[in-house]
Structure 1
Amino acid sequence: METIKPENLNELKGSILLQEYERVIVDTDRFPVEEINPILLGIYGEVGSIMAASKKYRREKKAYPSYKYEVEEEFGDALWYFSTLCRRLNVELAEVFDTVSNNDQENAPISQIITFDKVERLDSALIELGCMAAQLLKIEKDSPNLREELIHFARLYLQAMQSTGLYFAKVVKGNLIKTIGRFTVPRKDSLPDFDFPFPEEEQIPRKFEIHITQRKSGQSYLRWNGVFIGSPLTDNIRDPDGYRFHDVFHLSYAAILHWSPTFRSLINQKRKSDLSFDENQDGGRAIVVEEGLTAWLYSYSKGIDYFEGHDSLSFDVLKTIKKFVQGYEVEQCPLKLWEDAILQGYSVFRQVRKNNGGIVIGDRANRKISYRPLG
């Protein structure tokens, strides 16, 4: 069995121990250690989300193709909160599940967690789990039945998961990848560099300076190494909002994520030596995905002052981004890196918008983007 390292979660192929899961997710717990109520509410809320997804599937059936993925994610989130609760109550998560599965083998891997001979009907299993989640809301650290209540919840949790047709090992791995990617600052040497095997003329420049200017017409222009690139842009909306400067976000993706099919196209540095990359990663559809994601995020940001004063993004926003880029190389980037790219990009964008232009400096080695005034 492998020791879990945050930097190699995507390549993890061996069995996982619950002790390892507990150890690794400790650093993703951002709640005050003395607080238990947010954790109890989190368990209750995640069980409610499992129920809501199941109800939606019943109603929409094939029109809800992402059901299995979403309910798997909700089961993973519920496990995270349950593990966090056990830690605050000084009860080992692995011991709780070992008791449920009657495992004789100490430190048994997750793949050996019991499956029940009788599969409960999904509705019944979820209702029982929901009732138990409600009962946990009243739990206290000095309760004489503390351990039994936790074991009972674990049993109903596994029964509901089995009724849904999910595998515990997959739920655990998915939750690890999600939470580590969201809350842990990644090591730079563990991050993907999508240009590494390609010749220099097909790589996004390791360092670049892009001059953004606005003319009297209101159109914005980009210059790289003294040459105009791309087309002049306006806001393309009735009420001007600064979107003419949105290329800043593509530059931020390029510098921090090492990904931007739009910027590659602007500077004519696509990876044409590999037909697959040229068509599937740098082609028109990838550009549309990036532009669509950027436009959606911009509309969202307008209601919160373009992220001014923010030091983090909503988890829901980051999960939506992950869905946007599924199937493209950039999906390998952890959510924490996406958050960094967006917040840095909007910090520079606000300065460009305020000054109607400026110089945007990208530094891929340090995954940074910065601003310098023109002149």
Structure 2
Amino acid sequence: MDLREYQRRAQETDRNPSNAEEGLIVPLLGLAGEVGTLLSDYKKKLRDRDTYRLFKENVAEELGDILWYVANVATKFGLELDEIARLNLKKTRERFLREDTSECTSPYSFFDDGFPAEEQLPRQFSVEFTQQMQGKTATVFLKWEGHIIGNRLTDNAYADDGYRFHDVFHLSYAAFLGWSPVMRKLMDRKRRSQPKVDEVEDGGRSAVIEEGISAYVFSYAVDHDFLQNSRALDDELLRTIKKLTTNLEVRERSPAQWEQAILMGYRVWRNMRTHEGGRVHVDMLKRTLTYSTCNR
């Protein structure tokens, strides 16, 4: 039986078909009650162990009742259960279904496919981070293909928190998402052949959004040991990033892809901070970001 048919037939047994307050509160309370009963059954299972022989049957019954109330609430709000299920699967797959990048050959279409080669982010490249002291202040500069790119960076903070190495995060976005307006500007790979794309996707506003995401995630990471032992990120963090990028091409990337980009970026950043410099190797084709010391 499909969900559409189930929803229609479940509605035939509704004793309070009105969409008024009473008709809505009954299934909502019923839903809460059935969930409570399911929890109670699980408590009995924990208490009685194998002697509680009807556990599986009771779970099936309670889940059926929960499904009936869900269908009833959906109907009274003018929603289709099959569409709810479809959207939920889409959301959960985008959030939790990580891709295996170990064997990626063509992970997705790049945003700059079809543009002249000089306007594409290099598919494989390395950037060297060098730290030097200017008085008591640590500064970092980046070198790509033997040339210094961008400005010298400090932490711009009272505390030594290592944010001077934050360009690692932009490289991670490039590696895992195929996106980084900041790196496009630093590497002079802006898509000038299409002025509107250059303005919207590679311009100042998109770069500010990327820098904002980097700073926002960093403030979260500070409170979570710089993601040292993190295998997942807070849903609210990822939802905020998706909202910030709603009007940009990177909206096509899923929360799970953002999560991978951030976690790997911080893995490399922690190495960079520990060794006070090093090289970051980007492979957009295999979707990898790796670290090595400068003497390798």
CA–CA distance in 1 between the matches of 2:289 and 2:64?
53
- 8 Å contact kept, 1:357–1:373: yes
* CA shift for structure 1 position 125: 6.0
* 1:128 maps to 2:38: no
CA–CA distance in 1 between the matches of 2:241 and 2:24?
29
* 1:183 maps to 2:96: yes
Of the three residues 89, 100, 124, the one matched with 2:10 is: 100
- The 3 A distance-change label for structure 1 pair 98 and 340 is same
- The 3 A distance-change label for structure 1 pair 191 and 157 is farther
2:150 aligns to what SS in structure 1?
Answer: strand
* 1:203 maps to 2:116: no
* CA shift for structure 1 position 154: 2.7
1:326 aligns to what SS in structure 2?
Answer: coil
- 8 Å contact kept, 1:192–1:332: no
CA–CA distance in 1 between the matches of 2:81 and 2:57?
30
Of the three residues 150, 154, 157, the one matched with 2:70 is: 154
* CA shift for structure 1 position 256: 1.1
What is the total number of aligned residue pairs between the two structures?
A: 267
1:221 aligns to what SS in structure 2?
Answer: strand
CA–CA distance in 2 between the matches of 1:224 and 1:125?
66
- 8 Å contact kept, 2:10–2:72: no
- Please give the residue correspondences for 1:319-338 in structure 2 after superposition, counting only pairs within 5 Å: 319-338=239-258
CA–CA distance in 2 between the matches of 1:242 and 1:256?
22
* CA shift for structure 1 position 168: 5.2
* CA shift for structure 1 position 312: 1.9
Which amino acid is the alignment partner of residue 231 of structure 1? N
Identity rate of aligned residues, in percent? 36
* CA shift for structure 1 position 160: 4.9
* CA shift for structure 1 position 157: 2.0
- The 3 A distance-change label for structure 1 pair 192 and 181 is farther
CA-to-partner distance for each residue in 1:62-96, whole Å, 9 max, x for gaps?
A: xxxxxxxxxxxxxxxxxxxxxxxxxxxxxxx6664
2:126 aligns to what SS in structure 1?
Answer: strand
- The 3 A distance-change label for structure 1 pair 178 and 152 is closer
User: Where does residue 111 of structure 1 map in the other structure?
Assistant: none
* CA shift for structure 1 position 186: 3.8
- 8 Å contact kept, 2:268–2:289: yes
CA–CA distance in 2 between the matches of 1:171 and 1:322?
21
- TM-score, normalisation: structure 1: 0.65
Bigger CA radius of gyration: 2
Structure having greater relative contact order (Cα 8 Å, sep ≥ 6): 2
CA–CA distance in 2 between the matches of 1:335 and 1:98?
34
CA–CA distance in 2 between the matches of 1:147 and 1:99?
17
User: Where does residue 226 of structure 2 map in the other structure?
Assistant: 306
- TM-score, normalisation: structure 2: 0.81
1:135 aligns to what SS in structure 2?
Answer: helix
* 1:142 maps to 2:40: no
CA–CA distance in 2 between the matches of 1:237 and 1:126?
53
- The 3 A distance-change label for structure 1 pair 170 and 216 is same
Which amino acid is the alignment partner of residue 214 of structure 1? Q
User: Where does residue 45 of structure 2 map in the other structure?
Assistant: none
- 8 Å contact kept, 2:238–2:258: yes
- Please give the residue correspondences for 1:277-316 in structure 2 after superposition, counting only pairs within 5 Å: 277-316=197-236
Greater shift in the superposed pair: 338-347 or 319-328: 319-328
CA–CA distance in 2 between the matches of 1:194 and 1:173?
27
Q: Which consecutive residues of structure 1, in runs of 5 or more, have no partner in the other structure?
A: 1-17, 20-92, 103-115
CA-to-partner distance for each residue in 1:35-74, whole Å, 9 max, x for gaps?
A: xxxxxxxxxxxxxxxxxxxxxxxxxxxxxxxxxxxxxxxx
- 8 Å contact kept, 2:31–2:69: yes
RMSD of the alignment, in Å?
Answer: 2.6
- The 3 A distance-change label for structure 1 pair 129 and 317 is farther
- The 3 A distance-change label for structure 1 pair 100 and 303 is same
Greater shift in the superposed pair: 190-199 or 291-300: 190-199
2:142 aligns to what SS in structure 1?
Answer: strand
* 1:352 maps to 2:272: yes
- 8 Å contact kept, 1:211–1:224: yes
- The 3 A distance-change label for structure 1 pair 120 and 348 is same
- More strand, by proportion: 2
- 8 Å contact kept, 1:202–1:269: yes
- 8 Å contact kept, 1:119–1:159: no
- The 3 A distance-change label for structure 1 pair 147 and 346 is closer
Q: Which consecutive residues of structure 2, in runs of 5 or more, have no partner in the other structure?
A: 42-55
